[in-house]
Amino acid sequence: MITFRCAHCSSLVQTPDHKAGRPVSCKKCQKVSVCPPASFLVPLRPEPLSPKRRQVGSPGFLATLGAIGVACVIWVLV
């Protein structure tokens, strides 16, 4: 069984292995997507990764702010 994301609505589509490289219709949006070959498939993550926001005053935020300040000083002096 091949599982991939629909190119139109991003929902998961499951299809038998023999449909690799052939058009497959999505059960959710009814649009046709081409099933990728098994050699191109990678494991699907359950949810997309979101960047972690840095809180004002945290060490990471202060380090970034300091690096920006140093870069500005160097840019002005050069």
What are 10-46's pLDDT values in tens digits?
Answer: 888 888 888 888 899 999 999 998 888 875 655 556 5
Residue type at position 14: Q
Element at 24 (helix H, strand E) = strand 23-25
* pTM of this structure: 0.48
Spatial distance between the Cα atoms of 19 and 74, rounded to a whole number of angstroms: 58
Residues 59-67: what's their mean pLDDT?
79
Spatial distance between the Cα atoms of 21 and 73, rounded to a whole number of angstroms: 55
Spatial distance between the Cα atoms of 37 and 41, rounded to a whole number of angstroms: 7
DSSP 56: T
Helix (H, G, I), strand (E, B) or coil at 9: coil
